[in-house]
Amino acid sequence: MTVIEKNKFGTLPDGREVNLFSLENSNNMRAEIIEYGGILVRLIVPLENGSFRDVVLGYDNLNYYIEDKNYFGALIGRYGNRIGGAAYTYRGEEFQLDSNPQGNCLHGGRAGFNKQLWSGRITEDKTGEALVLRYESADGESGFPGNLDVNVTVRLTEDNRISFEYKAETDQPSPVNLTQHSYFNLNGEDDDQILDHKLLINGDQITEINQRMIPTGTFTGVAGTAFDFRELKTIGQDINQSDKQLVIAGGYDHNWVLNQSDNEMNYAGMAVSGDDKLKMKVYTTKPGMQFYSGNSIAPAGPGKAERLYKDREGFCLETQYFPDSPNQDHFPDTILKPGELYNQKTTYSFY
């Protein structure tokens, strides 16, 4: 049975308080989430030998999260990943969005959902308590049309699963692609690398990218390439190959087209710690997953282990719609319309 505690985490420069919610199950697995950015600050996972590991990168200091540019642990929106040229056209009207890296709109722009103060409240059902985070994104925020009402429900279960269920409604057609951006290190966040982790991704294709990290529109098969994770292999095995796609991104930073099943939740993949003591499986209702190997980590300050994180000390598995979908007619439609409900779910299961 999940129990949640609420405590103060810090204060924003404008005086608004930021609360921290601690979710804990009977196995003493614990998730700590703050209202600023909906950030998952800690994820403490039990091992068979009775010890525990914090498996997500992050800070103890709110100011570092305010300054952070890595999206450590944050909820991402209004559109996760990139929209090319920071613009799209819908029904003949062009919408100019906030531009950040390489002239694209990445993760909702410079002041995306990761830089906003969410409102947290505790709810309860037969499975125990759950955390609901709400954010109301105003019409025109970062250039996106329509008022968007977003609710993310976070649950921690007795079988050591943490789930994120995203719901959103709008009063104008708007692209919506919500995700979660934790950097995982299953060796423990105080470990210095993730290249020894084994990874499996349940996808036969990636969406190929150009020099600006935007999909070309081509679906490329992974068979026989460095991107073939259909069976478990270490992240470091092929990461330094001269493959053009790896060179562009400085490693892995690509969207996999997930294989679909008849189940409500599709199996997206699995990661295994370097010492084989911890496994994490990912299930989602979304059609894609971005695997980012932490190629450019620039910490705002010391992490929880009181040292500066370096490149490839954490990896992300961001379940999502495909990048740049508003500009790619043959990608899944990401325009949420008035009267519709955006409803997506992702679960991370630990063994």
How many CA atoms lie within 13 Å of 187's alpha carbon, on the beta-carbon side?
A: 15
Encoding tokens for residue 79?
A: 């559109």
- Whether the model clears a pTM of 0.85, i.e. scores above it, the answer is yes
Is 181 labeled as catalytic in the residue annotation? yes
> Which residues are CB-neighbours of 217 under 8 A, at least 6 positions away?
208, 328, 330
Strand-pair category, 279-284 with 266-272:
antiparallel
Mean pLDDT in residue range 51-69? 98
DSSP string, 241-261: S--HHHHHHTS-EEEEEEPP-
Encoding tokens for residue 142?
A: 């970062």
What are the phi and psi torsion angles at 171 (to 5°)? -105, 0
DSSP 116: S
Cis peptide before 312 (omega within 30 of 0): no
Cα separation, 24 vs 208, whole angstroms: 40
Strand-pair category, 128-137 with 105-106:
unpaired
DSSP string, 81-113: SEEGGGEEEETTEEEE----GGGSEETTSTT-G
**Which neighbouring-strand residues pair with 222?**
none
Worst-scoring range by mean pLDDT, 42-46, 99-103, 145-149, 310-314?
99-103
Cα separation, 85 vs 76, whole angstroms: 19
3-state secondary structure of 190: coil
> Which residues are CB-neighbours of 90 under 8 A, at least 6 positions away?
173, 326, 335
pLDDT by residue (tens digit) across 229-247? 999 999 999 999 999 999 9
pLDDT by residue (tens digit) across 247-267? 999 999 999 999 998 888 999
Mean pLDDT in residue range 258-279? 95
The 3-state DSSP composition of the chain as helix, strand, coil percent (nearest 5) reads 10, 45, 50
> CA angle, 281 as apex, 213 and 133 as ends, to 5°?
75
Residue 350, pLDDT score: 98
Indicate whether 189 pLDDT > 90.
yes
**Share of residues in the chain with pLDDT > 90 (%):** 96
Confidence of residue 101 (pLDDT cuts 50, 70, 90): confident
User: Is 3-350 assigned to CATH 3.40.50.1100?
Assistant: no
Cα separation, 210 vs 222, whole angstroms: 17
Cα separation, 284 vs 272, whole angstroms: 18
Asked if 34 and 87 count as a contact pair (C-beta separation under 8 A), the reply is no
Which helix (H) or strand (E) segment holds residue 19: the answer is strand 17-24
Which residue of the set 24, 141, 189, 318 is catalytic? 318
Mean pLDDT (the chain, rounded):
97
Mean pLDDT in residue range 279-294? 98
The CA R_g of the chain, rounded to the nearest whole Å, is 19
Residue 104, pLDDT score: 97
Which residue of the set 24, 107, 181, 254 is catalytic? 181
Strand-pair category, 52-54 with 87-90:
unpaired
Indicate whether 25 pLDDT > 80.
yes
Confidence of residue 305 (pLDDT cuts 50, 70, 90): confident
Asked if 344 and 285 count as a contact pair (C-beta separation under 8 A), the reply is yes
Indicate whether 223 pLDDT > 80.
yes
Cα separation, 110 vs 23, whole angstroms: 29
Residue type, 235: I
pLDDT by residue (tens digit) across 127-142? 789 999 999 999 999 9
Indicate whether 61 pLDDT > 80.
yes
Residue 3, pLDDT score: 85
The ranges assigned to domains in the chain are 3-350
Of 102 and 215, the one with more pLDDT:
215
